[in-house]
Amino acid sequence: MTFLATRVSLGAASTLAAAALLLPIIPAIQAEQAGADRFWGQWRGPHTTGVSKTATPPTEWSETRNIRWKVPIPGRSSSSPVVWNDRIFLLTSVDADPASGAGLAPRGSVPAPSPHKFVVMALDRKSGKTVWEQVVREETPHERHQENGTWASTSAVTDGEVVIASFESRGIYAFDLNGKKLWEKDLGNKRMRSQFGEGSTPALHDKYLVHVWDHQGESFIVALDKSTGNALWRQPRKEIDTWATPLITTVNGKAQVVVPAMNQIQAYDLETGAQHYGLQRLEAAPNVFASPVGAAGRVYITGRDGATVVLRHGPKFEVLATNTLDDGFDSSAALVDGELYLKGYRYLYSIAEG
C-alpha cells in the first residue's frame, strides 16, 4: 500500500471513528430539541407564546368527566405549573402557623404579614403524588401584597437540566430535577408601589437566567449562570416597579432580551447585556388596553383616552398622525377595505376617507 493510500485509509478510519462517537450523541440532541417543543417548561410555554404545537388537550371536562386526578396544593400561590418529562413543578407559600386558619384565603389585606414557608414542589404527572418538596426559606415577608396577589406569584422555569424557583425578595434557587439544591442567590428586597406585591418570573435560555428587578429602589436587569448562580452581566434600569417576564428572542441570528416596562420597551444583548434599543412610551396614548392593528404599512395604536397614534411600520420610530375622538377605547379596532371601525365606551365609529 502506498503512503498516500495509507493516509487516505487512516483518514477514513478516523472519520468513521468520529462518526461512531457522535452516533449516541445525535439522538440525545434530537430528543432534547423535541422535549423543548413538547414540554411546557416556562410560564408561557415552549415558545413563550402560550401555544403548544404538539398538545391535544380535551375540549370538555367537569368534576366527573375527563379528570385524571386532582390533588390539594398547600398554601396560596399564583404560580403556573411547568412540566418536563414526568414531572410538574410548582411554587407556593404556606402559612407557617397551621392554627392561623389562613389556609387558601387572600392575605393581602392583613394588617401585617405573618411568617410563611416558601416551597418548591415536584409532582408526578401520572398520579399527582408529590415526588419531592423543598422548603427554601421560612420568614415573614417584608411587605404585603394586593388582595388578589400571593407571596408566590412567580412560576418555576426548567430546561430539563435545572429547575429555577424565584421567590424574588425571598431568594432565587436552582435544583436538579431530583430536588438537589445546586445554588441560591439573594438579590435583596424589592420595594413595590403601594405594596402591590411581586411577580416577575425569570426567563431561561441556554446558560442564561435573566431576571428583571424593577421596583421603587434601584432597578436593574441581571443575567445569572444557570449552573452556578454567578452574575454574567447586570444593567441598571430607569424604571419603577413592573411585573414583566423577559422575552428572549433571536433577531438576525443574535439572541435578544426584550423587556416591557412603565417608560420603555428595552432590548438587551443576551450574551453581553449591551442595550440594543428602547421604544419609548406613547405620550398621546399612555394607557392602552386595545391590541394594535396594522394595514398599508401603518400601525394603529388606540388609547383609553380617545387618541389613536398611527406609526409607520419599519425599523425606525416614526409617528405619522395622532387622531383624537370624544370617547374612550378599550376594544381593538377592525380594518376592512378602506374602513377602520372603533368601538368606544359610548359609540361605534366607522372611519373612512371621503
Q: Which domains does the chain have, with CATH numbers?
A: 35-47+70-183 (2.40.10.480), 202-281 (2.40.10.480), 293-351 (2.40.10)
DSSP string, 149-186: --S--S--EE-SS-EEEE-GGG-EEEE-TTS-EEEEE-
Instruction: Tell me which residue of 151, 251, 248 sits closest to 203, measured CA to CA.
Output: 248
Query: What is the 3 state secondary structure string of 96-115?
Result: CCHHHCCCCCCCCCCCCCCC
**Contact call for residues 198 and 206 (beta carbons, < 8 A):** no
Mean per-residue pLDDT over the chain, rounded? 84
What's the pLDDT at 7?
40
Q: What is the strand order of the sheet 348-351 is part of?
A: 334-336, 339-343, 348-351
The type of residue at 245 is T
Residue 8 has pLDDT above 70, yes or no: no
Position 65, amino acid: R
* The one-letter amino acid at 137: R
Cell numbers found for residue 341 = 371601525
In this prediction, residues 143-159 reach a mean pLDDT of: 84
CB-count exposure of residue 156 (10 Å: 0-12, 13-18, 19+): buried
129 — phi, psi (to 5°)? -75, 145
User: Nine-digit cell at 260?
Assistant: 416591557
Tell me which of 2 and 309 has the higher pLDDT.
309
Give me the pLDDT at residue 61, please.
83
Check if the beta carbon of residue 177 is closer than 8 Å to that of residue 163.
yes
**What local confidence, expressed as pLDDT, does residue 109 receive?**
52
Q: At what angle do helices 25-38 and 3-22 cross, to 10 degrees?
A: 30
Q: What is the pLDDT of residues 231-263, one digit of tens each?
A: 999 999 998 888 878 889 888 889 999 888 878
Whether 195 shows a pLDDT value over 60: the answer reads: yes
For residue 195, give the DSSP letter. G
Neighbours of 16 (CB within 10 A): 10
Spacing of C-alpha 30 from chain mean position: 25
**pLDDT band for position 270 (cuts 50, 70, 90):** very high
Write the pLDDT tens digit of every residue in 330-349: 888 888 888 889 998 888 89
Rounded to the nearest 5°, which phi and psi values hold at 15?
-65, -45
The answer to whether residues 143 and 150 touch, using CB atoms and an 8 Å cutoff, is: no
Mean pLDDT for 21-48 is: 69
Q: Is 323 strand, coil or helix?
A: strand
Q: According to the model, what pLDDT value does residue 100 have?
A: 64
Higher pLDDT, 103 or 265: 265
- pLDDT above 70 as % of the chain: 86
